[in-house]
Amino acid sequence: MTTMARPNVQLQFARSPALRYVLSALSVLSALGAALLLEHFQFRNVADGLFRIAIAITIWNAGTGPAILAVVLAGLANAYFFIEPIHSLYVPRAELPHFVIFILFVSLLTWFAAVRRRVEAELLQARDKLEIEVVKRTEQASLLNLTHDTIFVRDMSDIISYWNRGAEELYGWRAEEAIGKHSHQLLQTEFPVPIEEVRAELLHAGRWEGELRKSKADGSRVVVASRWSLRQDEQGQAVAILETNNDITERKRWEEDIQNLNQELARRSTELESINKELEAFAYSVSHDLRAPLRHMGSYTELLQKRISSVVDEKSNHYMAMMLDSAKRMGNLIDDLLAFSRIGRAETRKTLVSLAQLVREAVTEARQDIEGRNVVWKIGGLPEFYGDRSMLRLVLVNLISNAIKFTRTRPQAEIEIGSSEGDKDDLVVFVRDNGVGFDMKYVDKLFGVFQRLHQSDAFEGNGIGLATVQRIVHRHGGKVWAEGLVDRGATFYFSAPKPQGHLWRP
Amino acid sequence: METLNKIGRILMVEDDPKDVELTLSALEEYNLANEVIVTHDGEQALDYLYCRGEYKARSSDNPAVMLLDLKLPKVDGLEVLKQIKSDAELRMIPVVVLTSSREEKDMVASYKLGVNAYVVKPVDFHEFVNAIKELGVFWAVINEPPRGSVRK
């Protein structure tokens, strides 16, 4: 702001001193001229009045100094032209009181005028200052209006005196509606602590911050982060409170959601932990407590067999043999189950593993089982996997031995092992056979523990192989699935995330 | 080597009477059962080793070998093992853990405590008999125990 809102002509004029004195002389000369002219036309005793007018004009327009000059000039002119003897500055005794009164009167006038001018100048100055202040404030207010932050001011009795556009936008009341209202009543403010504490802190520290709940014009509630600043006058007296609000309703809701989710997560992981502990205890007790009686059954049966096998008939011997066989079978089941549970608990030691190498090993291992059989192997390109070598080996051994087992009835078994592109981040490996297949209706049962889709006398096994496969693949962050048709073969797939930083090498 | 007639004393710690019976019958086949002391829990085993309680009056020699089950009442096998292996006198006794547990953590814990052998009882009686026989023959007959052990 460089220019004043309303220029003051009078003060500007008065700023040039020379001009003011010239004005003073001119007005006295004009009065003299007019008086001489009127005297010429026989008008007497007008000079006094005209000089007073000239002095008055000078006082009014030019200030104290020029007025004194005007008084002196008028006095001299009066004495010279109008007081007998004319054309002399001599004032006779009889005219002296008249002349002195004239001088005193105009001097008094000048003094009044001087006082008046001083007061007026002060008033003008004050007005200008005020105007500047008003302009400044208006400007600040309009700047505050530009922000989308909610800002409002209230006096110490909480009556709103300023309400910016951000406040209009957030709360829905226009400035005209809000100004003059009691802030907490209008907004139905809900404090986290008693309002007395808030006030005490505000007065003590000059500011307060906190979360408040308030109402909008439409009745809905919002949560705001609120900051209060105390405005004090020059004497340090609190005069107003400036409050800014930020709408954090959404953020609060997210925070609450996240908190709830975290709690739920913590609860579930505790649950999971205790379930895992239970499982571990269970596995331990299976390992220890189930094996003991089993071993006793087998052992006593064997001791019995040793004592009486030569004296009892063949059927009795058969029964004892079956008891021993069953004990052994149950022992194997327990061992498999334990191995399965151990996979879930064992640490994985991950390295970059060549699946092609693992397949070669698994096929070599299976050679014994396919003696005398016609098996055609189709082994395609296989990627490298990032995983636990012994676990991945177990996956392939299980899948390949399954393929061998379930193609047993085929004159020519065909087993294909290969890889295909999965989703962009996954590697997919499959083992396909032309064996007895399965009904897709039971696909969900394939990977369950002890789940079998075939009678045990047709295909031996205890239903733990695919469950083991699934568990290992899950521990590697992958998936297992299968496709099959009764009598038309089956394909088992597993996937795992691609090793990072390594190229696909088929 | 001296004759095989010199048999070391075997301390068996086993709470299951059937296991005791089966183990003894396996040792019997090789005439190793005579010098077997049977204790039924960890506390009793420690009483024996420290010659206290009911074993106050026994001669203070150490057994040639100790067959230790892990799952025992009162003081369990790992605790017994820990006490033996941290005792300057007793730590020289060879300890064989003979257990049903195939749990790796038991095995690791036992070896960490300084066990001399860890044997999982086989389900098959043949194998069990063989295992016991070999254990008995090795530790009680072939192995030269530290001085202070009983030899018959």
Query: Which is more confidently placed, A299 or A8?
Result: A299
Q: What is the ipTM of this complex?
A: 0.76
Task: Pick the residue from chain A with its C-alpha nearest to B71.
Answer: A288
Both tokens of A366, joined, read: 């299976």
Look at phi and psi of residue A202 and say left if phi exceeds 0, alpha if psi is from -120 to 50, else beta. Answer: alpha
Mark yes or no for CB contact A298/B125 under 8 Å. Answer: yes
* pLDDT tens digit sequence for A362-375: 888 888 888 888 88
Query: From the candidates A279, A286, A289, A295, which should be mutated to test the interface with B, based on the most B CB atoms within 10 A?
Result: A295
The confidence score (pLDDT) of residue B148 equals 63
Q: Residue A382 and residue A122: Cα distance in Å, rounded?
A: 98
Q: Looking at the domain assignment, is residue A439 inside a domain?
A: yes
Which CATH number applies to B10-142?
3.40.50.2300
If asked whether residues A76 and A23 sit together in one domain, one would say yes
If asked whether residues A363 and A493 sit together in one domain, one would say yes
Among residues A184, A214, A247, the one where a domain terminates is: A247
If asked whether residues A182 and A243 sit together in one domain, one would say yes
Low-confidence ranges of chain B (pLDDT < 70): 1-7, 147-152
* pLDDT tens digit sequence for A218-250: 989 999 999 999 988 888 888 899 999 989 989
Domain boundaries in chain B?
10-142
If asked whether residues A36 and A136 sit together in one domain, one would say yes
Q: Looking at the domain assignment, is residue A188 inside a domain?
A: yes
Mark yes or no for CB contact B101/A342 under 8 Å. Answer: no
The confidence score (pLDDT) of residue B25 equals 86
Contact residues, chain B, for A301 at CB < 8 Å: 125
Contact residues, chain B, for A294 at CB < 8 Å: 123
3-state secondary structure of A459: coil
Cα dihedral sign, A367-A370-A371-A375: negative
Mark yes or no for CB contact A294/B123 under 8 Å. Answer: yes
The confidence score (pLDDT) of residue B4 equals 43
Q: Write down how long chain A is.
A: 506
If asked whether residues A321 and A367 sit together in one domain, one would say no
Contact residues, chain B, for A288 at CB < 8 Å: 70-71, 99-101, 103
Interval A379-387 mean pLDDT: 85
Going from the C-alpha of A437 to that of each of A125, A356, A363, A432, the distances in angstroms are 105, 25, 20, 10
Contact residues, chain B, for A335 at CB < 8 Å: 102
3-state secondary structure of A276: helix
Range of the domain at A269: 264-343
Nearest C-alpha of chain A: how many angstroms from B151?
31
Residue A456: pLDDT over 80: no
The confidence score (pLDDT) of residue B7 equals 67
Q: Looking at the domain assignment, is residue A424 inside a domain?
A: yes
Mark yes or no for CB contact A288/B71 under 8 Å. Answer: yes
Task: Tell me the percentage of chain A whose pLDDT exceeds 70.
Answer: 93
Residue A15: pLDDT over 90: no
Least confident of A64-78, A315-329, A436-450, B134-148: B134-148
Contact residues, chain B, for A282 at CB < 8 Å: none
If asked whether residues A42 and A58 sit together in one domain, one would say yes
Query: From the candidates B125, B126, B127, B133, which should be mutated to test the interface with A, based on the most A CB atoms within 10 A?
Result: B125
Q: Looking at the domain assignment, is residue A506 inside a domain?
A: no
Mark yes or no for CB contact B16/A335 under 8 Å. Answer: no
What is the Cα A116 distance to its own chain's centre? 64
Strand partners, B97: B68, B118
Task: Tell me the percentage of chain A whose pLDDT exceeds 90.
Answer: 22
Q: In this structure, what DSSP letter does residue A81 have?
A: I
The confidence score (pLDDT) of residue A339 equals 78
Cβ A455 vs Cβ A417: under 8 Å: no
User: How many structural domains is chain A composed of?
Assistant: 4
The confidence score (pLDDT) of residue A280 equals 74
Mark yes or no for CB contact A302/B126 under 8 Å. Answer: yes
Contact partners, residue B140, CB within 8 Å, separation at least 6: B7, B8, B9, B10, B32, B35, B64, B65
Contact partners, residue A90, CB within 8 Å, separation at least 6: A79
Residue A401: pLDDT over 80: yes
Q: What is the pTM of this model?
A: 0.50
Cβ B39 vs Cβ B31: under 8 Å: no
The confidence score (pLDDT) of residue B6 equals 60
Cβ A145 vs Cβ A165: under 8 Å: yes
The confidence score (pLDDT) of residue A1 equals 39
Q: Residue B124 and residue A328: Cα distance in Å, rounded?
A: 7
The confidence score (pLDDT) of residue A267 equals 93
Contact residues, chain B, for A296 at CB < 8 Å: 18-19, 22
Query: From the candidates B28, B71, B72, B100, which should be mutated to test the interface with A, based on the most A CB atoms within 10 A?
Result: B100
Cα dihedral sign, B40-B44-B45-B49: negative
If asked whether residues A389 and A415 sit together in one domain, one would say yes
Contact residues, chain B, for A302 at CB < 8 Å: 125-126
Nearest C-alpha of chain B: how many angstroms from A345?
11
Q: Residue A264 and residue A448: Cα distance in Å, rounded?
A: 28
If asked whether residues A67 and A112 sit together in one domain, one would say yes
3-state secondary structure of A66: helix
Cβ A299 vs Cβ A291: under 8 Å: no
Residue A265: pLDDT over 90: yes
If asked whether residues A194 and A59 sit together in one domain, one would say no
Contact partners, residue B130, CB within 8 Å, separation at least 6: none
Query: Which is more confidently placed, A69 or A84?
Result: A69
If asked whether residues A34 and A126 sit together in one domain, one would say yes
Cβ A336 vs Cβ A372: under 8 Å: no
Contact partners, residue B116, CB within 8 Å, separation at least 6: B94, B95, B96
Cβ B105 vs Cβ A346: under 8 Å: no
The confidence score (pLDDT) of residue A405 equals 87
Nearest C-alpha of chain B: how many angstroms from A327?
8
* pLDDT tens digit sequence for A104-149: 887 888 888 778 878 888 999 999 999 998 888 888 777 877 777 8
* pLDDT tens digit sequence for A88-101: 777 788 778 877 88
How are strands ordered across the β-sheet holding A221-232?
A160-163, A150-155, A238-247, A221-232, A207-215
Confidence of residue A24 (pLDDT cuts 50, 70, 90): confident
The confidence score (pLDDT) of residue B84 equals 92
Interval A496-500 mean pLDDT: 74
The confidence score (pLDDT) of residue A501 equals 55
Contact partners, residue A166, CB within 8 Å, separation at least 6: A147, A148, A149, A150, A151
If asked whether residues A107 and A171 sit together in one domain, one would say no
If asked whether residues A36 and A77 sit together in one domain, one would say yes
